[in-house]
Amino acid sequence: MSAKTEIESRLAAAPIAPLVGADDPDVAVRTAEALRDGGLTVIEVVMRSDGAQRGMEAIIERVEGLIVGAGTVLTLEQAKSVVAGGAEFVVSPGLVDDIVHYCLDEDIPFYPGTMTAGEVQRAYALGLREVKFFPASLAGGVAMLKAFSSVFREMRFMPTGGVSPESLGEFLALPSVIACGGSWLTPGDAIAAGDYDKITDLAREAIKLARSIRA
């Protein structure tokens, strides 16, 4: 089974991709374990700090049962680095042609950020059929995705940025939405306090809500 097919299969069962960001590899590992224990097995480790890739690599090495991708990838060089470090998919906040071509050539699932019709159309023209919709809450939310879906009928979206438990249901009710990404599942205060049970509980609650909508 290809990485893309496996990701799609897992997200069909639990359509939520939590964001993980930690410089400390041990914290990254414990956070990932808590998410896995709650039923979420596709996670995005965001490259927003100097130590983030080390955290991602620690998760890949030490936590079984996960598909781990790298997010906030800004350049082609960074994409190559995270893939060399074991990332199974790549996510960017915007659409960068060089990264698209690299990921397509290497058969690596890539989800670039889009927020306008022009960006979605360019992603389509480059050969992509799945994109990130970012920042979802500021880019028009559910109403914008409905408009995109009526025009770009083959495109599927992963809204991220401002998605919350309150808005999760509205996004997941759209057939064009693959999954929602979000950091509400990994709250900083819980991680700072070492309360990983809270992260597991949040994951379980999110899956329960998602399945009630997509039953």
User: Tokens 């069909």 map to which residue?
Assistant: 12
DSSP string of 78-116?
HHHHHHHTT-SSEEESS--HHHHHHHHHHT--EEEEE-S
Shortest CA distance to 128 belongs to which of 166, 90, 165, 163? 90
For this structure, is 44 an active site residue?
Answer: yes
Residue of 57, 88, 130, 132 with catalytic role = 132
Q: Which helix (H) or strand (E) holds 71?
A: strand 67-71
Q: Would you give the DSSP letter of residue 160? A: B
Residue of 33, 44, 88, 130 with catalytic role = 44
Catalytic residues: 44, 132
